[in-house]
Each structure stands twice: as structure tokens, then as C-alpha cells.
């Protein structure tokens, strides 16, 4: 079978022919239908992600596929079940082994492409805004990187929760995507001053930041008293240093959030979050946005789309 693997952090990932893996006890083997890409895949390829495996390993953190074999001790999900799973690696391949306990059956009405790109992006925004930021109806939510994989879901979820949403993105095309997802106001980070623009709109109660760098600093300056800033990631490549004097003067909270960490210490929180999200999806309150679907032999191109910020929403690989 084919697998898109990292052999060394000193060389780029490559598509290789490898043996079909066999499920160990507690695992299932999936025939992979789709793999949703995440910014973390770019970091993992360089060895700079917090949960990077030791090479060699196959990229692709979240997948949808059909169970075709079970390891010892596994009775569910049954063979033939279509499931979605966040495995952390192994998704950019024809087949892969994943922990059976992490697999979630996929509703019949949900496409494999949506299922493969739903869990991380929507789960991140939902848990960040509900459990960590405690966003409430009527508050103003500022979303940085609002047309990206997680940012766009934050716009959607913010609107479902009754917030007024200000979306920041680069260029008219990305701003239009954010508006279509429900943004009340949009700011072009290429041509507009983020801090001044947000302050002119009354400031932010909650900031959702997957970008970092200068955008974080600008957003912090546009916060209302008692605002909450949720740190999701650093797509800009720059990890900001937080000026504690501003936090003190304006009574601002800066909150760290790592979705994958909950698998280890509060998996029930992830399950409850996903259940609510699937309910919203079934009600038509969420509209997942996939800008590109590419075959596995175009994996280099798929990563390049994210690296160059050419994609919006999610990029999906189909074997």
C-alpha cells in the first residue's frame, strides 16, 4: 500500500510503498476513505509539533474509513463500520491502524470527506469557546485567521452561540468565505489596522487566536476589560510574549488551549463536545467548508496549499 511518510526531519515527506499494517490488540485496521489535513501536519513534518512521533511515521492526524480488521480483544466497532478517528498520525495512506476506543461511528448522512475533516477543527473551536472562554450570547468574538481550518469553524460556532463575530483574514476572497460562515464584520489584515478596526467596533470580549505574532498583539490591544484571549496556535510562526502589565490594567485572561490534550485527561469532554456538534450539524446549523480535495499522490500539493495560505476551511486527501 501507499503511505505519505516522514523518514527524517531533514528531508521532505514522500509517498512510499509499505506493507499493510496489522492491528495490534485494541486496534482496528481501516480502509481509509479520506484524511483531513491540519496545520499541525506541517509542523509535524518539521519535527516542531508538541506530539511529533519518532520517524519514520505517516502523516495525517484525522481520518474516516471502514473497519476491515480487528486486533485481539476488539469487538467494537464491528468490521464494516464506517468510523472517524483522531489518531495523531497514519491518515495519509491507503490503510491504517488506529485505537478502537477512539473510533466514532459516522452518521449515514455525513460524507467521508466531511467526517475526516470535522473532529479536530470543530472540536477545537467548540471546546475552546464553551469550556475555556465561556463565550455568552451577545458578547463580541474576534476570530483571527478566520478563513483557515479552525478559524472558520470558530466563526460558525460563535454565531450558533449567539455572539457578534468579527472575522480577520487576508484578502477579499477569504473575507467572503468568513462572511458566508456568519461573520457580522470583517477586517482585512493586509490593508486594515486590526487594533484600530476592532476598537472602532467596540472592542472584543473574547479573542480566538490560531495565528500569534503581531496579530495577537493587535488583538490584545483591542480587548475590552475582562476579555478572554484563547491561544489556539501560532500559524504566523511567531510565538508572542504576553505583556503582563496589559493583563493587569485591563483585567484580561490569556487562556491556553490544546484540543489533543483532552484525550489524555478529559476524554469525556471531547465526547460531549462532539455529540453537541453532530447535533448542530444534523440541524443544519453548521456547514463544513472544504476548499480542496486531492488524491494521495498529490500530497505535496495539499501541504503546499496550507503552507502558502491558499486554502480556506479544510484540505482533504482521498486515497
pLDDT tens sequence across 65-111: 999 999 999 999 999 999 999 999 999 999 999 999 999 999 999 99
pLDDT attached to residue 51 = 86
CATH superfamily, region 122-259: NAD(P)-binding Rossmann-like Domain (3.40.50.720)
| Mean pLDDT, rounded, of the chain | 96
pLDDT attached to residue 199 = 98
pLDDT attached to residue 125 = 98
The rounded distance, in Å, linking the Cα atoms of 222 and 268 is 35
pLDDT, average across residues 256-279: 92
Q: Which CATH class is domain 2-118+288-318?
A: alpha beta
Please report, for the chain, the start and end positions of each structural domain, with discontinuous segments joined by +.
2-118+288-318, 122-259
β-strand pairing of 185-188 with 164-169? parallel
pLDDT beyond 90 at 147? yes
Q: pLDDT band at residue 50, thresholds of 50, 70 and 90?
A: confident
Question: Of the candidates 115, 62, 67, 114, which has an alpha carbon nearest to the alpha carbon of residue 85?
Answer: 62
Percent with pLDDT over 70 in the chain: 100
pLDDT attached to residue 237 = 87
Whole-model pTM over 0.75: yes
The rounded distance, in Å, linking the Cα atoms of 249 and 293 is 47
Q: Do you find a cis peptide bond into 56, omega within 30 degrees of 0?
A: yes
Tell me the Ramachandran region of residue 47: left when phi exceeds 0, alpha when psi lies from -120 to 50, beta otherwise.
left
Strands (E), the chain: 2-6, 14-17, 27-36, 57-58, 62-70, 82-86, 95-99, 104-105, 140-143, 164-169, 185-188, 204-209, 223-231, 253-256, 290-295, 314-318
Amino acid at each position: 500500500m501507499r503511505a505519505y511518510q516522514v523518514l527524517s526531519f531533514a528531508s521532505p515527506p514522500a509517498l512510499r510503498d509499505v506493507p499493510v499494517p496489522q492491528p495490534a490488540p485494541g486496534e482496528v485496521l481501516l480502509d481509509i476513505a479520506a484524511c483531513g489535513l491540519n496545520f499541525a501536519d506541517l509542523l509535524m513534518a518539521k519535527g516542531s509539533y508538541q506530539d511529533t512521533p519518532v520517524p519514520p511515521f505517516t502523516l495525517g492526524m484525522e481520518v474516516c474509513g471502514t473497519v476491515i480488521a480487528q486486533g485481539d480483544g476488539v469487538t467494537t466497532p464491528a468490521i464494516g463500520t464506517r468510523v472517524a478517528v483522531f489518531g495523531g498520525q497514519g491518515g495519509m495512506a491507503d490503510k491504517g491502524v488506529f485505537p478502537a476506543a477512539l473510533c466514532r461511528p459516522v452518521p449515514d448522512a455525513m460524507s467521508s470527506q466531511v467526517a475526516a475533516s470535522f473532529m479536530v477543527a470543530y472540536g477545537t473551536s467548540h471546546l475552546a469557546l464553551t469550556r475555556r472562554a465561556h463565550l455568552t450570547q451577545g458578547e463580541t468574538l474576534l476570530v483571527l485567521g478566520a478563513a483557515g481550518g479552525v478559524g472558520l469553524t470558530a466563526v460558525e460556532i460563535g454565531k450558533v452561540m449567539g455572539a457578534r463575530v468579527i472575522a480577520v483574514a487576508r484578502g477579499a476572497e477569504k473575507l467572503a468565505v468568513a462572511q458566508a460562515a456568519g461573520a457580522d464584520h470583517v477586517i482585512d489584515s493586509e490593508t486594515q489596522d486590526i487594533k484600530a478596526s476592532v476598537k472602532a467596533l467596540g472592542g472584543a470580549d473574547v479573542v480566538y487566536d490560531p495565528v500569534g505574532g503581531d496579530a495577537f498583539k493587535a488583538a490584545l490591544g483591542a480587548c475590552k476589560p475582562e476579555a478572554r484571549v484563547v491561544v489556539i496556535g501560532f500559524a504566523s510562526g511567531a510565538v508572542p510574549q504576553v505583556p503582563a502589565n496589559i493583563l493587569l490594567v485591563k483585567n484580561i485572561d490569556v487562556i491556553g488551549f490544546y484540543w489533543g490534550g483532552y484525550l489524555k485527561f478529559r476524554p469525556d469532554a471531547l465526547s460531549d463536545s462532539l455529540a453537541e456538534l453532530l447535533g448542530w450539524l444534523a440541524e443544519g446549523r453548521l456547514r463544513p467548508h472544504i476548499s480542496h480535495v486531492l488524491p494521495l499522490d498529490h500530497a505535496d500539493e495539499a501541504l503546499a496549499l496550507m503552507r502558502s495560505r491558499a486554502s480556506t476551511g479544510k484540505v482533504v486527501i482521498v486515497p
